Structure 1
Amino acid sequence: MKKAAEYAFIKTIPILLGYLFLGVAFGLLLQKSGLGALWAFLISSLVYAGSMQFALVGILTGGLSFVTTGVMTLFINSRHAFYGLTFIRRFKEMKLFYPYMVASLTDETFSLLCSMAKPKEFSEKEWKLTTFFVAFFDQCYWVIGSVLGALIGQLIPFSAEGIDFAMTALFIVICTDQWKASKTHIPAVIGFVCAIVFLALIRSSGFILPALAATTAVLLFLRSPIEAYMEES
């Protein structure tokens, strides 16, 4: 367990830096809306949904209906259904950890797990523990950052303007690492083209779900030739 935890911590250091800063921004926003550190802890522990948490601040203070809240949550976090398809078999093999792994699969955790390769000296049990610790540490970073932000907001005035770019920068770094490590860039190019097409058609953040659906459909259709190309190369 110690070996798996140490490896997972090293791998999640970039996410630690990003989640602490963005978590602080969320905590500050929450505190300025009249909700304190306890709310920050509960939301980041139980909701843990990044952009949805920022939207939740307005929902809690604006008194929106349950139906509106449910629809907003579906549209904002629907992309995670596609993330989960990648890890269904892997998470099911983790048995007791399976429900938590599903709930904790954020954008950054997904990207990191996709880019990680099992070291030769790791057993299957150690690798499963490493996967769990990656998700668990990431959530801990987010919770700590959120609570710190709420506490800081109570003590000193602080502007969080521009701090949300930390997660954009982190995602770019992880994406670059995956690009370098991948044997083929065909899936990435397909995803990029689909995103550009639907962004041009929809011209709003709502392009993400249809772009992901289109990417999945194209990849399933081209699965055999892509796998054949990878085997040849």
Structure 2
Amino acid sequence: MTFRYALKRSIPVMAGYIVLGIGFGMLLGAKGYGITWALAMSVFIYAGSMQYVAIDLITGGASLISAALMTLMVNARHLFYGISMVERYKDTKPYKPYLIFALTDETYSLVCSGDVPEGVEEKKYFFLVSLLNQIYWVIGSVMGSVLGSVLNINTEGIDFSMTALFLVVFTEQWMSTKDHRSAVAGVAASVICLLIFGASAFLIPSMISITVILTLMRGSKKTESSQTTA
């Protein structure tokens, strides 16, 4: 039952990850890096948007320092993801090392989307969702590499597919719950930070703002729950 539930919950991510993986594999192949690179990067790096950025870093001859700084900027949001997952991933051994490695935006969304139903083992569900999502990404990357090597396809605009996936996941989560306060707060905080800091520097301030807002909202919910129980 746990596997079936994890598979069902991950289907929207599967649709996005396979398409995104194909785009990544094709872009990588267009730069002269074949299936071995696509497979290795998707298995050992597994960083979604950062893998797209890595294509330019690899082909542009970027230094290790430049690559490290760019990785920090692109994936800084995962620092906040990790902080918010400390309690949820508590006592998840032997899954914990892999859960930490495989925490992507979409996996984070599924893991934090609510309590699992009765009969589903929560810790195993976390692991299976994480594993299934990476499998989708690996399959898409390999498919893209193969297709790119046999078909002459214009790859311009393919990198927008990552943004499209974020929109799909947001819509799916919006439709799956009646409480939209956290989603509205996140969008509002992002827009405000975008206007204040600009497109090149709004990500980290917006993540800090969202973390603070959600923490306050969580505390408020706990207070309301205790008062209701009393």
Residue 65 of structure 1, CA deviation: 0.8
> Gapped runs of 5+ residues in structure 1?
none
* Residues 150-203 of structure 1: per-residue CA shift (max 9 Å, x gap): 111111112344445554444334323433555643333332222111101222
Deviation larger for 164-173 or 151-160: 164-173
Matched, 1:120 2:118: yes
In the aligned structure 2, how far is the partner of 1:154 from the partner of 1:133? 32
* Kept after mapping to 2: 8 A contact 1:112/1:174: no
In the aligned structure 2, how far is the partner of 1:226 from the partner of 1:120? 23
Paired position in structure 2 for 1:191? 186
* Kept after mapping to 2: 8 A contact 1:27/1:150: yes
Residue 108 of structure 1, CA deviation: 0.8
Paired position in structure 2 for 1:89? 87
Q: Write the mapping of 1:13-28 to structure 2, written as runs, cut at 5 A.
A: 13-28=11-26
More helix by share: 1
Identity %: 40
- TM-score (norm: length of structure 1): 0.87
* Residues 8-60 of structure 1: per-residue CA shift (max 9 Å, x gap): 11211111111111100100010111100000000011111111101111111
Paired position in structure 2 for 1:210? 205
Paired position in structure 2 for 1:175? 170
Deviation larger for 219-228 or 87-96: 219-228
- Give, as a single letter, the amino acid of the residue that structure 2 aligns with 1:105: L
* Kept after mapping to 2: 8 A contact 1:45/1:143: yes
In the aligned structure 2, how far is the partner of 1:91 from the partner of 1:220? 17
Distance 1:177 1:117, change over 3 A: farther
* Kept after mapping to 2: 8 A contact 1:91/1:97: no
RMSD over aligned Cα atoms: 2.3
Paired position in structure 2 for 1:53? 51
* Kept after mapping to 2: 8 A contact 1:21/1:163: no
Distance 1:228 1:96, change over 3 A: same
In the aligned structure 1, how far is the partner of 2:162 from the partner of 2:58? 24
- Give, as a single letter, the amino acid of the residue that structure 2 aligns with 1:132: F
Counterpart of 2:30 (choices 20, 29, 32) is: 32
* Kept after mapping to 2: 8 A contact 1:94/1:128: yes
* Kept after mapping to 1: 8 A contact 2:49/2:162: no
- Give, as a single letter, the amino acid of the residue that structure 2 aligns with 1:128: K
